[in-house]
Structure 1
Amino acid sequence: MAAICVFCASSRTLDQRWLDLAAATGAEIARRGHTLVSGGGCVGMMGALVNGARSAGGRTVGVIPQVLVDLEVADVASDELLVTDSMASRKIVMIEKSDAFLTLPGGLGTLDELFEVWTTATLALHHKPMVLVDTDGFYGPLLDWLRNLTDQTFLKPAGFDLLRLADTVPSALDVIESHLT
């Protein structure tokens, strides 16, 4: 099975519905027999994600910079916890350890990870599937802006199309699985 990296928020002040979405995502990844690769945190959606995966018997791999370990937010219950020297090297390791990427709602860190993976895909540095889960239209304004980039020729349509969209986690995982076979 695949190693699926999930990008999501680590904020401790989120509405419960986002934590529930993350927990359900982790559980669904585990039920389908995949390994979850995460940012290695134990708080916010990231914590709910890994707990959801483990509650369904899944394997978890966390990738976290030392600075966050020092802040005691590391998911020390991970089956494998990889500690990097920086946020930049964390993204490199996450890309290397993953077969596919799924992005849930999140803030700047989540977008940073999404854009790193997407940019490297547009440069053909990897050919791994990427799916953005647009729950309740969360990413609608961003997608409109990105489509405008394409209209203005700052982003080629083929580059835009590398990022697949789904409105539910099961449909996102279906898309990933269809591109891994």
Structure 2
Amino acid sequence: MRVTVCCGTCLENEEKLAKTARAIGNALAKNHIELVYCAPLAGLMREIVKGVFEKEGAVTGIYPSGSFAEDLPPIVTGSSTYTEFYTDTREEQTQQLLEMSDAYLVLPGGFGTLEELSSVCTFLTLGPLPGKPIGVLVNEGLKDGLKPLLTMFEAWAELPETLFFLSDVESLIQRLAAKGSGKECLAG
């Protein structure tokens, strides 16, 4: 199973959020879920990748050609797996992210994170990705303001079964895994 993580690349004195990001990476690897991402390896994303590698999990990076070259992960040791894909445009990159993943996880971020969430929601409601779950981590860095914002859009009515908000990392990862695989979930 693969999960695309949408999050910010800046950590401004967010030590607790960095620990949460590392815990997410650990939980993904522990549950045999491959991380898929498309950002520079900085901030929250760096911590998530470190967490996955700590538990010898799998990571796939999708980059527009020529972008983020200096930010790619260090050489992976142990039984961790790292794969890179390159695309010609940002649009192709987004398409790859959407198609490659079984579920999506949203953490605090900026406009890029919001754009990625919007693309996923658009493809779920209008395109070829019905039923893929989207989990949003609600904590110190991502307050409850996102849910009221999303409810302003008409398409919200089409997402309640696939879009969910949780504050507990383990429950969030388990629910993504269960919904992404089509199995029942006891958590969350």
TM-score (norm 1): 0.86
Write 1 or 2 for the structure with the bigger share of helix.
Answer: 1
Q: Pick from 72, 82, 86 the counterpart of residue 83 of structure 1.
A: 86
CA distance 1:65–1:142, change in 2 (3 Å)? same
TM-superposed CA distance for 1:85, in Å, is 2.0
* Cross-structure match for 1:130: 134
* Cross-structure match for 1:121: 124
Number of corresponding residues: 175
Whether the aligned pair in 2 keeps the contact of 1:66 and 1:83 (CA below 8 Å) is yes
Which amino acid is the alignment partner of residue 134 of structure 1? Answer: V
1:159 aligns with 2:172: no
Which amino acid is the alignment partner of residue 101 of structure 2? Answer: S
Which amino acid is the alignment partner of residue 86 of structure 1? Answer: T
CA distance 1:46–1:160, change in 2 (3 Å)? same
Residues of 2 paired with 1:34 and 1:97: CA distance?
A: 13
Could you tell me the percent identity over the aligned residues? 25
Residues of 1 paired with 2:88 and 2:173: CA distance?
A: 31
Report SS of the residue matched to 2:116.
helix
1:173 aligns with 2:167: no
Residues of 1 paired with 2:105 and 2:178: CA distance?
A: 14
* Cross-structure match for 1:109: 112
TM-superposed CA distance for 1:65, in Å, is 1.7
Aligned pairs for 1:1-181 (under 5 A) are: 2-11=1-10, 13-70=12-69, 72-75=70-73, 77=75, 79-127=82-130, 128-136=132-140, 138-147=142-151, 149-150=152-153, 154-179=154-179, 180=181, 181=183
Residues of 2 paired with 1:93 and 1:139: CA distance?
A: 29
TM-superposed CA distance for 1:174, in Å, is 1.9
TM-superposed CA distance for 1:106, in Å, is 1.1
Query: What 5-or-longer segments of structure 1 have no aligned partner?
Result: none
Which amino acid is the alignment partner of residue 150 of structure 2? Answer: L
Residues of 1 paired with 2:13 and 2:121: CA distance?
A: 26
**Two-structure CA RMSD over aligned residues (Å):** 2.0
1:51-74 deviations in whole A, cap 9, x for unaligned?
A: 11001110111112224235x223
Residues of 1 paired with 2:111 and 2:123: CA distance?
A: 18
TM-superposed CA distance for 1:173, in Å, is 1.4
Which amino acid is the alignment partner of residue 131 of structure 1? Answer: G
Q: Deviating runs (4+, > 6 A) in structure 1?
A: none
Query: What 5-or-longer segments of structure 2 have no aligned partner?
Result: 76-80, 184-188
